[in-house]
Structure 1
Amino acid sequence: MAKKDQLSLKKQPVQQRSVFMVDVIKQAAVRVLKDRGAAGFTTYMVAEVAGVSVGSLYQYFGSKETLIAEIKRDHFAQLRGLFRQAGEALSTGTIGEAVDKFVDASVEGHLIDPQLHRILSSELGDFDLVEDDKSDDSIKNAIESVLLNYREQLRNDLHIPTAAHLSYHLVEKTVHDTLIYADDADNTERIISELKTMLRLYFTGSAD
């Protein structure tokens, strides 16, 4: 397995041409990963699909692990962004509306690219990524901030940090398994609806 310092770009693209080339390489890497899976993923195939030399690829990506790590960072950064947007939009309203927005943000995130999400979540093993913003921590912090804003609507004995932790993992696991692996649209809709009801009950003691 690559060491932590090997999973970052060898150098950051600065000029417009190099920024464009790195983006093209990443897009090609996503195509190869989706077409061939993690087992068939090679830098040579990525370079061929991107239309660049292997040497050009290695100017920025020191290994296939680095390339996959960058894809994974980009993908999960999109998910974090959706949660942050949901949190920033919640200045008024009810905790029930907040629950709807956060669950819907998770659903939207998992639908960005379900095939890629499934590969990144289940086929890659444990890459020791270097990230400025850990997905779990940033999303749980966003949920905790929202719960604090709605404190008066919550049940009195609710421990907010624990509630943020539990609700994040419940939503992530439920939405992930339902959308990535299920193929029954009607059942998916029921599960998401019941998930929202469960969270309202947990936060407030009422399903309203």
Structure 2
Amino acid sequence: MNRRERRTVVMPEERFRMLLAALLFIVPALGCAQPVRRKPESKPPYTAAGETTPKAYARAAAARGEELYRRAQCGVCHGDKAEGGRRNPNSVQDTIVAQDNMAERLFLTYREDFEAAIWMIGRTGTLEAEYLDVPRAPAVVEQYRNTVKIILDGSTTGKKDAARRRAPINMPYWRDELSMQEINEIIIWLLSLGVEEDGA
């Protein structure tokens, strides 16, 4: 028999069935294989002693965030309680945007949703929709990331009248002034302003 001739091997029926069953199981399983992603650790990396629950972390982070908001003088434009309303001549909106409604904009007005989100921020330094167990998680994460980007990079306010020389007040960038942890704590304080009270 030369090399080009092929042999036909006849397998016993039982052996054929076992091989077929193995192939039917293994081949689909190979196609579904994906890298395993681990959930974030459950303990926040930058919490102080005693902040071992979402509620305790929320309280402490919000207090730190309020202090940072005051120290960075955000209230000069946004108001002491982030209520906005300061006049912004020649801007499209006429006033500085309020931030005390951030919980509503991020769909986090229910305390349990707020605590779940800020606990994740505390554990990981960000929000990931894949692990965030709140309604509308992708929208929450998108709004959170937009907020972080505006704080980091600032934003330009549109002019109402392009012919006027007076430029409106723009949001300054804080990338060089605030750490990501500090930005998150300010966001947590702003979120806490619009969250329902316990027992509400």
Q: Which structure is higher in RCO with an 8 Å CA cutoff and minimum separation 6? A: 2
> Do they fold alike, i.e. is TM over 0.5?
no
**Aligning the two structures, in what range does the TM-score lie when normalised by the shorter sequence?**
under 0.3
Larger Rg over CA atoms? 2
Report the TM-score when normalising by structure 2: 0.27
